[in-house]
Amino acid sequence: MDGVRFERKGERSRKGCIVYVIAVPVLTLLFWIPLSAAITWLLPRAGVDPDIASNISVLYLLIIFASVCRWVWKDTQTAGRSASVTISPDRVDIDAGRRSTVLLETLEAVRLESHLDVLKVVLIPAKGRPQELPPDFASFAVVQKALEDSVVPVLQKRLDERIGAGGETTIGESGFRSLLRLLWGLLLIPLGLLAVASMGFIALGFSLLLGVPGRIRRSARGLGGPVVLRSGGLVRSSGALRKTVGWEELRAATNDEHGLVLQSRRAGTISISSHANNHLPVARWIVARLR
């Protein structure tokens, strides 16, 4: 397979400085006001001192402000600039402001993260910082086939060798982290409605609202916690019953961009969120054993 190239044309004009100056406080308050109202109302009723609740609210204000500033800074670096991603049989080249290359032989994992109403691809090398594919032109939906033709088979083969040698692999996020993702997804509903009502950020509001159903599905599929893969089947890493469920007992009910859902008469429903590291090669590896 030759390298597959995805690119952003440098046609988008750079926003004026005044737009960014206005966007930072507006977006910060847009996200913080409903969150602050929830914190200052819920925590005192849960027995938390009102002063502590107020301090927590202010802390979140600072966190949101820093996050918005980071987003604005990244946008200023990409606005009006060309960028590209090239996925080859042996590497992934990313040219988005600064150039970086991830060799597949050093790639440890691939992860999908929510970004507005799309999924963002994150490549995690064995050494060095994770590398994100720009989601505005190289979202998972766009690069999925190229990933499945080059990156996924490499990681799947590595997984097969590890488990074939008698090892095991844990896949999935903690149930608590998935719960936080679920709560954040639900919080985006009023935030998205506020953004739409503000008119100035109507596009952002619609993107947030369109992304909510997918966020909820992916979060729900991770609530069961991680599972451990073995040569003879899989086992839940938490819960009272930790017996291995053989591949012959399982069937794939759903396998899509939100995750893998398996069903068994004995073990019930076992799901893996697509937010889990290496969900893509693991899902393909599991499904191949169910046929």
Kindly list the distances between the CA atom of residue 162 and the CA atoms of 157, 167, 168, 188, 273, in Å, as whole numbers in the listed order. Answer: 9, 6, 7, 40, 22
Are 79 and 85 contacting, i.e. CB atoms less than 8 angstroms apart? no
| Predicted local distance difference test score (pLDDT) of residue 142 | 95
The pair of three-digit structure tokens given for residue 169, joined into one six-digit string: 């692999």
Alpha helices in the chain (DSSP H): 17-45, 50-78, 140-149, 151-164, 175-197, 202-222, 279-290
Q: Where are the beta strands (DSSP E) in 222-258?
A: 227-230, 233-236, 245-246, 251-256
Question: Which pair of structure tokens corresponds to residue 131?
Answer: 């590398």
Q: Residue 258, SS3?
A: coil
| Residues 139-155 as b or e (16 or more Cβ within 10 Å = b) | bbebbeebbeebbbebb
d(CA 198, CA 119): 26
CA distances from 59 to 41, 44, 52, 110 (A): 16, 17, 10, 32
- From CA 220, how far away is CA 258, in angstroms rounded? 10
Amino acid at 156: Q
Nearest to 141 by CA among 123, 115, 102: 115
Measured at the CA of 71, the angle between CA 69 and CA 73, to 5 degrees, comes to 70
**Residue 69 pLDDT:** 84
Contact 212, 188 (CB under 8 A): yes
Per-residue pLDDT of the chain (291 residues; tens, 9 = 90+): 578 999 887 654 455 566 667 778 877 887 788 888 888 888 888 888 888 888 888 888 888 888 888 877 776 666 557 889 999 999 999 988 788 999 999 999 999 999 989 999 999 998 889 999 988 889 999 999 999 999 999 999 999 999 988 888 888 888 888 888 998 888 888 888 877 877 667 887 888 889 999 999 999 999 888 898 988 888 887 655 567 888 888 888 999 999 999 998 877 888 999 999 999 999 999 998 886
Q: At what angle do helices 140-149 and 279-290 cross, to 10 degrees?
A: 60
Copy the structure tokens of residue 210: 């369109």
Closest to 272 in 3D by CA, of 285, 264, 281, 261 = 261
Q: Which residues lie across from 7 on neighbouring strands?
A: 84
Evaluate whether 7 touches 84 at the Cβ level (below 8 Å). yes
Alpha helices in 83-166 (DSSP H): 140-149, 151-164
The answer to whether 79 and 15 have CB atoms below 8 angstroms apart is yes
Q: Which residues pair with 256 in a beta bridge?
A: 259
Are 123 and 133 in contact by the 8 Å Cβ rule? The answer is yes
